[in-house]
Amino acid sequence: MQPLAKNIWINGELTAWEKATVHVMSHALHYGTSVFEGIRVYDTPNGPCGFRLTDHIRRLFDSARIYHFPMPYNEDELVQACKDVVRAEGLRSAYLRPLAFLGECGMGVSPSAETIRSDVMISAFAWGAYLGEEALEKGVDACISSWNRVAPNTVPAGAKAGGNYL
């Protein structure tokens, strides 16, 4: 895969793309235990600006709370980390992907309180128009889906969680 970025922020440190790895026994890989956000960064006269950055990070924390993920950083630290990643990548406009996930904390659907821990990563990379430049000129085809959103009493649909996107 072509690297999307030079570095990724992982657990408080900028890490080279090729060294940013997750163990195959990561809980998130087996059970989908991750929460994430997707944040656009726009070029402005005052420099790069994350669209509702604080609101997105707050929602990341809300999602983590819903799934009982311990967060090793506070909201302000992750907002600053997002800014640091964009700056380190030298981007004026970008897509930010903060993600918290359960790493090596044992197997089983519900890890024990003694072993549970969250890892946090943030990547920033250039990404043009979401549906491609052509969509801006010609538009896109759309339809109303017959699929219903999962009911909130089946899985926590209010959380932006990896497992909810299967």
Q: Provide, rounded to the nearest whole percent, the portion of the chain with pLDDT above 90.
A: 64
Q: Domain for residue 55, yes or no? A: yes
User: What's the per-residue H, E or C state across the chain?
Assistant: CCCCCCEEEECCEEEEHHHCCCCCCCHHHHHCCEEECCEEEEEECCEEEECCHHHHHHHHHHHHHHCCCCCCCCHHHHHHHHHHHHHHHCCCCEEEEEEEEECCCCCCCCCCCCCCCEEEEEEEECCCCCCCHHHHHHCCCCCCCCCCCCCCCCCCCCCCEHHHHC
The one catalytic residue in 6, 19, 138, 160 is 160
pLDDT of residue 15: 96
Q: Domain for residue 2, yes or no? A: no
pTM of the predicted model over 0.85? yes
Q: Domain for residue 30, yes or no? A: yes
Q: How far apart are CA 39 and CA 21, in angstroms?
A: 22
Domain residues for the domain of 93 are: 7-165
Q: Domain for residue 144, yes or no? A: yes
Q: Domain for residue 118, yes or no? A: yes
Does the annotation count 160 as an active-site position?
A: yes
Q: Domain for residue 76, yes or no? A: yes
Digit-coded pLDDT (tens) for 59-92: 999 999 998 889 999 999 999 999 999 999 999 9
Q: What total number of domains does the chain contain?
A: 1
Q: Domain for residue 34, yes or no? A: yes
Q: Domain for residue 64, yes or no? A: yes
Question: What's the CATH number where 144 sits?
Answer: 3.30.470.10
pLDDT band at 166 (very low <50, low <70, confident <90, very high): low
